[in-house]
Amino acid sequence: MGFESAGFEHMLLCEIDPKRTAFTSLNFPKADVLTTNVAENVDLITSKIHSNLKKRDADGLFLLYATPPCQGMSKNGIGTILKAMSEDKRSKVDKRNQLYLPVIEVVKNTLPKWIFFENVCRLFNFKDVDDEGSVRFITEILESEFYALGYVGKFEKVQMADYGLPQTRLRTVGIFRKKEGTEFSNDISFLPPKVIDNPKDRVTLRDVIFNNEHLDANCPNGRLSLSNSLHRVPKWRDELNFWMKNTPEGASAFDNNICISCQNKNERVDLECSKCGSILPKPTIVRNSERKMIKGFVSAYKRMYWDKPASTITTRSAYACSDHKVHPNENRVLSIFEIATLQGIDIENVNWNDHTGKQFSDTLLRELIGESVPPFFTRLIGEYIEEIESNISSINNVAV
């Protein structure tokens, strides 16, 4: 959607999940939308690209946009995975991370002028076996393949909050262009200049959602806005509500050491007050008549800060147990409306309803929003690419 805002037109879009292609088809009606496994259908995709180019009487593909999923790079358990790899207890090659390979094949078959590749920031940590049998970082393999095809550019880590996005979102971004007689160096950066140099100047959660309608996950009539169908949140069970309503801004419920009955300060390992015996508002579970702390990261059951950017919007935005997902002071996670806003999505220009007029499911919308490359950022990329092309044309015209 960001590239379209910058003046681009989508020609072909691919997804493996029919529910996602249903959403995509409604929102990109001019595009050819395929429900297909990209890894198994490179020839079909190549054929579709060429037939679409012929239909449009186009000289060639201008931009290939690739965001392959890499399940093996999930943040969950990443430390354990990397440690095992470094100790040779786990293969340094994870086949779940090989969905970048079809991208190389499509590039070889279509030779687009530009390539935009986006993935998790941990792409730089993972390796695969190249065509020569050597184990190398995936980013290095991709760069070598693109350089051999006559492209210039490189992969870089990008903090999207430095471009004005109101969330901290560190990603791996690779932007490449055909060299085609230009003076660009092989490892040129095609990222636009950052707009924010000092992290203290980043757009905050307060700047964006502070005046939104109050919601309450534990109140039957308070979970859904009457005026905005996207401003809704899932129900909380009573014990979750107990933990979080006693958790201050920016803190985790795991650190709720103050007894709400007698105000005694307890130790972090305490589940009950050492003075009066009251249950502390910490994430716990009762098994075999014994109360135990729920296992989780320190970032679980944690509230965001008003005066910082939001934490990274992910597919698990509905879950308080996920990374920094709880509203700064209301007893709820962020609504669909809020996470879409924080992703820089132009909400008014999105069709949120299926062909019957029913709104797509909360689960699907949260997944799509969380996985998307923020349109706010891709619009900036698209505009910068157009600026570069304009400068190249000006230079070529002068040379002529």
Alpha carbon distance 299, 280 (integer Å): 19
Alpha carbon distance 125, 50 (integer Å): 35
Alpha carbon distance 375, 343 (integer Å): 7
Q: Is 139 left (phi over 0), alpha (psi -120 to 50) or beta?
A: alpha
CATH topology of domain 2-202+374-399: Rossmann fold (3.40.50)
* Residue 139 confidence (pLDDT): 93
Q: Distance of CA 400 to CAs 183, 184, 393, 395, 397, Å?
A: 16, 19, 10, 9, 5
* Residue-level pLDDT, tens digit, the chain, 400 residues: 889 999 999 999 999 999 999 999 999 999 999 999 998 999 999 999 999 999 999 989 999 999 987 655 455 444 555 555 566 655 555 566 688 899 999 999 999 999 999 998 888 888 888 888 888 999 999 999 999 999 999 999 999 999 999 999 999 999 999 998 899 999 999 999 999 999 999 999 999 999 999 999 999 999 999 999 999 999 999 999 999 999 999 999 999 999 999 999 999 999 999 999 999 999 999 998 899 999 888 889 999 999 999 999 999 999 999 889 999 999 999 999 999 999 999 999 999 999 999 999 999 999 999 999 999 999 999 999 999 999 987 766 554 4
- The DSSP output letter for 355 is T
Whether the full predicted model's pTM is greater than 0.85, yes or no, is yes
146's tokens: 């693109």
Which residues lie across from 284 on neighbouring strands? 293
* Residue 129 confidence (pLDDT): 85
